[in-house]
Structure 1
Amino acid sequence: MQEQGAAPQHGPAGRRGAERDLIIDLVRFFCLALVVVGHCMMVSPVLHRDGTVTTENTLTAQGWFVPVIWIFMVMPLFFVTGGTTGLQSWQRLKARGGTGFEFAQARLLRLVRPATALLACMFVGLWAALLLGVDPQVIQLMTAGAGMPLWFLAAYLAAQLNIPLLARFHDRAPWLTVGALAGLVVAVDCFRGVLPLLAYANLVFLWCAVQQLGFLMADGHFARLSRSALVGLVVAANLLLGVVTGLGLYSGDMLVNLNPPNFCLLLLGVSQAAFLQLVRPMLGWVAGVRWVRALVAVAGRRSMTVYLWHLPLLVGMSGLLLLTDFPKPAAGTASWWWARPLVLLGVVALLLPVLAAFGRLEERPTASVHTRGRPAGAVVTAAVVVFIPVADAAFNGLTLGLLGGGAACFALAVLLLGRMPERVVEQVPERPSAARGGLSGGQEGGPLPAGPSSASVEP
């Protein structure tokens, strides 16, 4: 029997569109919440007597941080769930006659539109602060700190835009595809000492490999494993992780292993995917609770806005507090830790007007049914235009000038992409048995769902 909140499995990736999985949406919400809470415990600016400002990462300085981050490094889990929802979205679009370029167009619009607003607002706000006399060193510090979420945007886009191609490989040889990507990850790790810039290739190879685990989950490969096999996967992945970090091949700090990413995060992804399958029955019950489902739905529709804006708002709030007489306990003291819930509440309070102003940019931009899709060249050009400033920021760091240039590039990409045309699907007449078939969903020959029942609005 299928657990509550889960979407039915329909076989290989070539099937007609799959319904959304409420359990996956719940996990994505948990990952986002954990990232926001974690950042609230990391940012700690310090104003020195000479007027300079530095930042301290109080959380990473704790002796217990390294073993705890093995458990709470949820970025691989985010890509696993992103692979599941991404594959299902591609299957729905493909079932309506959509193409890979239309999928890329929708994905770019979904992520680039809210990011454009963020970059533009950051550029205007920080430039105004500079004109008002704020020290350029402080401006640069705030720019670099607030721009950290952009690496995720680059990695997530690179993985998501490859979904149509990787789905084709997955259909033919799912395990071979994962193995090939894992081999590329290891190869990059082996040569990154000689060619340091090569390490950034794993922003594509590593996260695509982790995303493939989500493909396997979407197609029921993990569901077919016994509980003992799933426990074995969790244990084996963590044991191998302990070996490679214990031998000094990789750092034991998973935050260090995050950017640029390496093989350790793939091992974490395997462990987290298997563990997620183990706890699906419990999560199914939680996802079925009405108020939980409502909360996840509301938060999920604005998840990218929350992710992109929470750190800039946290950095800005912390910087402004330095200019006031508000009590500022020393980082790491008991008073500092007790103040963290207040900091979190402050970030949430600042997020509310931002969500009201910019949250709708995440919603799927759908044009008239008579609007034609954008040419493939426009979609490819938009992708290149987006990745140019992101790559520059990854290699050289984010600056105020790059913020302005990035906002212009992202705005150009949105203009190139236009709006996503809606495909008209010819409705298949319902068979008598299907007309009263209850909630089984996805009947062969039946009409596709009218829209996503998702926390995260997907095409």
Structure 2
Amino acid sequence: MDMDAHPPASQATAVQRDPAIDLVRFTCLLLVVAAHSMMVSPVLHRDGTVSTLNVLMEQSWFTPVTWGLMIVPLFFVLGGVTGLQSWRRLQAHGGSGFDFAQLRLLRLVRPAMALLAVMWAGLWVALLLGVHPQVIQLMTAGAAMPLWFLAAYLTAQLSIPLMARLHDLAPFLTFAALVAMIITIDSLRGAIPVLAFANMIFVWCAVQQLGFLMADGFFEHRSRGWLVGVIVVSNLLLGLVTGVAIYPGNMVVNLNPPNFCLLLLGISQAAALQLLHKGIRWVADVHWLQAAIAAAGRRSMTVYLWHLPLLVGMAGLLLLTDVPKPLAGTPEWWWARIPVFFAVVILLVPVAWIFGRLEERPTAASHARGPSRAAVVTAAVVVFIPVTDAAFNGLTLALLGGGAACFALSVLLLGRVPTPVLPASARDGAEFRERQQRTLPAPDLRANLET
């Protein structure tokens, strides 16, 4: 297979969604909700304060389990597959990198804007009603966990036009350069700790490139033995670098900021996904399951962003009731995780129905024919200001409100972009008349953007 070429633009528009990709993403989302349900364990003290214990992280057996259940790299592999396909479809319809950035920002920022606004308002009401400020801060900090993923995922997705061009020119050289950067930064993070956060870009872009290779059929054209070999070698290498204490063995510890271990996991997971693809596709072709996955997929970012605040809020309310609360880590506590998980899922249904509409097709103003570069760049900067502040200094109630305002400003910048003034010669041409009748995204383009 020639990896220096990708399907022509005429074929790119014909690429269909892979039900197996949707099923894997849906399963990963359920695993994330389940894992967080086993982590939150608040305890109310007599002075009104609350302390929390991450029970799952305290278990000795959890460290090896994280090798199999750390599915964050897989999210970026899947995002690389669907992101590259979306970018090529947009290109085939005459879209630019700024058009792509506009759609991605709207798709990801609008649901986050709603979450931050509701949390800010709700926590202020709780504070005014007399809830201890320490409890408010604890609940506020809970919102930072979904936001770091949003920032990392958005950064990787915004890089797709550039990284796709480099991929088309030299896929393996591009991947090798990213790996070299990851190792270099990991080598220097002991001397310059803040430098480690640069791998929020290089690690996830490298894992995303694996999705590019998958979208172009590289893994599909490898033998089963080759795929098994990649899984074995990547895990042996992972065992080596953790066994000699270069990196921690717990993949959750390696997650933020990410390091070379997450890339090794991404390689293993990409190969495993291809190895199991036929079986996953067989399950995904079940009609009723397709309908359920499609409904959840259109609300995937809403589910991800809201599940942890709902879990924290539910746990906080239960502390104020007389419902029996088993001690964290006891068998009764572990059995109680099952109803907790289903309770969160039930709460997510109305939330997804109400706020999930913000993930629908994001359209520019009716008079717009595309975003201005200044609007897109400004919107991106506005989004990353509160996210960066939260990453370095932690999330506070004030920053929660400021973040909601910044996200709202970004949506306004992207949602109403004025039509540029064109020269008379262009206005007289057929091309201008065609563009004047069209807004971005084009009517036949999907804008749920397959996150």
Using the alignment, how far apart are the partners of 1:116 and 1:139 within structure 2? 19
Match of 1:223 in 2: 220
Match of 2:273 in 1: 276
> In the alignment, is residue 151 of structure 1 matched against residue 148 of structure 2?
yes
1:321-350 Cα deviation digits (max 9, x unpaired): 111111111011111111111111211222
1:378 to 375, 378, 383: 375
Q: Secondary structure at the match of 1:54?
A: strand
Match of 1:430 in 2: none
Using the alignment, how far apart are the partners of 1:130 and 1:25 within structure 2? 40
2:49 to 52, 55, 68: 52
1:419-444 Cα deviation digits (max 9, x unpaired): 699x9999xxxxxxxxxxxxxxxxxx
Match of 2:401 in 1: 404
1:380-423 Cα deviation digits (max 9, x unpaired): 000000000000000000010100000000000000001699x9
Match of 2:138 in 1: 141
Match of 1:414 in 2: 411
1:256-308 Cα deviation digits (max 9, x unpaired): 00001000000000000000000011011011110111111000000000000
Q: Secondary structure at the match of 1:259?
A: coil
> In the alignment, is residue 346 of structure 1 matched against residue 343 of structure 2?
yes
Using the alignment, how far apart are the partners of 1:314 and 1:19 within structure 2? 35
Q: How does 1:258-297 map to 2 (within 5 A)?
A: 258-297=255-294
Give 1:21's aligned amino acid: D
Match of 1:111 in 2: 108
Using the alignment, how far apart are the partners of 2:51 and 2:163 within structure 1? 43
1:3-38 Cα deviation digits (max 9, x unpaired): xxxxxx996155433222221111111111110111
Q: Secondary structure at the match of 2:254?
A: helix
Match of 1:361 in 2: 358
Q: Secondary structure at the match of 2:103?
A: helix
Q: Secondary structure at the match of 2:51?
A: strand
Distance 1:207 1:195, change over 3 A: same
Using the alignment, how far apart are the partners of 1:58 and 1:334 within structure 2? 12
Using the alignment, how far apart are the partners of 1:348 and 1:113 within structure 2? 22
Give 2:229's aligned amino acid: G
Aligned length: 427
How far is 1:115 from its partner?
Answer: 0.3
Q: How does 1:296-335 map to 2 (within 5 A)?
A: 296-335=293-332
Q: What's the Cα RMSD here?
A: 2.2
Using the alignment, how far apart are the partners of 2:237 and 2:432 within structure 1? 50
1:192 to 173, 186, 189: 189
How far is 1:357 from its partner?
Answer: 1.4
Percent of aligned positions that are identical? 68
Using the alignment, how far apart are the partners of 1:220 and 1:117 within structure 2? 38
Match of 1:35 in 2: 32
1:86-122 Cα deviation digits (max 9, x unpaired): 0000011000000000000000000000000000000
Q: How does 1:230-241 map to 2 (within 5 A)?
A: 230-241=227-238
> In the alignment, is residue 257 of structure 1 matched against residue 254 of structure 2?
yes
Using the alignment, how far apart are the partners of 2:65 and 2:302 within structure 1? 27
1:171-226 Cα deviation digits (max 9, x unpaired): 01101111111111111111111111111111111000000000000000111111
Q: How does 1:91-106 map to 2 (within 5 A)?
A: 91-106=88-103
> In the alignment, is residue 165 of structure 1 matched against residue 162 of structure 2?
yes
Q: Secondary structure at the match of 2:361?
A: coil
Match of 1:126 in 2: 123
Q: How does 1:380-395 map to 2 (within 5 A)?
A: 380-395=377-392
1:117-143 Cα deviation digits (max 9, x unpaired): 000000000111111111111110111
Q: Secondary structure at the match of 2:328?
A: coil
1:12 to 6, 9, 12: 6
Structure 1: gaps of 5 or more residues = 1-8, 427-447
Give 2:185's aligned amino acid: V
How far is 1:371 from its partner?
Answer: 2.6
Using the alignment, how far apart are the partners of 1:288 and 1:10 within structure 2? 32
Match of 1:61 in 2: 58
> In the alignment, is residue 248 of structure 1 matched against residue 245 of structure 2?
yes
Using the alignment, how far apart are the partners of 1:167 and 1:11 within structure 2? 11
**More divergent stretch after superposition (57-66 vs 206-215):** 57-66
**More divergent stretch after superposition (160-169 vs 337-346):** 337-346
Match of 2:333 in 1: 336
Q: Secondary structure at the match of 1:46?
A: strand
Distance 1:325 1:158, change over 3 A: same
Using the alignment, how far apart are the partners of 1:149 and 1:425 within structure 2? 43
Distance 1:288 1:43, change over 3 A: same
- So what's the TM-score if we normalise by structure 2? 0.91
How far is 1:50 from its partner?
Answer: 3.6
Question: Greater helix percent: which structure?
Answer: 2
How far is 1:449 from its partner?
Answer: 10
Give 2:274's aligned amino acid: Q
How far is 1:312 from its partner?
Answer: 0.4
Using the alignment, how far apart are the partners of 2:254 and 2:162 within structure 1? 27
**More divergent stretch after superposition (13-22 vs 271-280):** 13-22
8 A Cα contact 2:83 2:449, kept in partner = no
